């Protein structure tokens, strides 16, 4: 199954809950897209295998500096769920529905 499309997402971070969108484009096991929230935006590349997606990116940290993020998601045609590794700030659950 190809992971493609736009999802409305909710993230529960230590700094509070936030919403945004995550747009995926896959070609084989290669994944690219955009992650956009009020916390910041990033363009990403990563990998996908079936419903599993993994990608990394860097966004400005609300505490100053940059924050390295690692996304581990399970994406279906209807929804997504998983976690974001926030570097030194722990992990945050993420969930979403196809837009």
Q: Tell me: the pLDDT tens digits for 42-99?
A: 999 999 998 999 999 998 877 788 889 999 999 998 999 999 999 888 999 999 999 9
Q: Which of 43, 36, 34 is nearest to 18 (CA)?
A: 36
Average pLDDT for the chain? 91
Write down the pLDDT at residue 13.
86
Q: CA-to-CA distance for 10 and 47, rounded, in angstroms?
A: 22
Instruction: Give domain limits for the chain.
Output: 5-98
Confidence of residue 1 (pLDDT cuts 50, 70, 90): low
Write down the pLDDT at residue 43.
93
Q: CA-to-CA distance for 88 and 46, rounded, in angstroms?
A: 21
Q: What is 5-98's CATH number?
A: 2.40.128.120
pTM of the complete model? 0.91
Query: Above 90 in pLDDT, residue 22?
Result: yes
Q: CA-to-CA distance for 57 and 45, rounded, in angstroms?
A: 8
23, 44 contact by CB (below 8 A): no
């Amino acid at each position: 199954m190809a992971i493609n499309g736009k999802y409305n997402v909710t993230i529960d971070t230590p700094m509070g809950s936030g919403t945004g969108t995550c747009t995926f484009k896959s070609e084989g096991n290669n994944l690219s897209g955009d992650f956009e929230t009020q916390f910041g935006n990033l363009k990403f590349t990563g990998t996908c295998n079936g419903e599993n997606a993994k990608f990394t990116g860097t966004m400005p940290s609300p505490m100053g500096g940059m924050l390295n993020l690692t996304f581990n998601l399970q994406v279906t045609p209807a929804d997504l769920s998983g976690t974001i590794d926030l570097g030194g700030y722990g992990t945050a659950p993420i969930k979403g529905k196809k837009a």
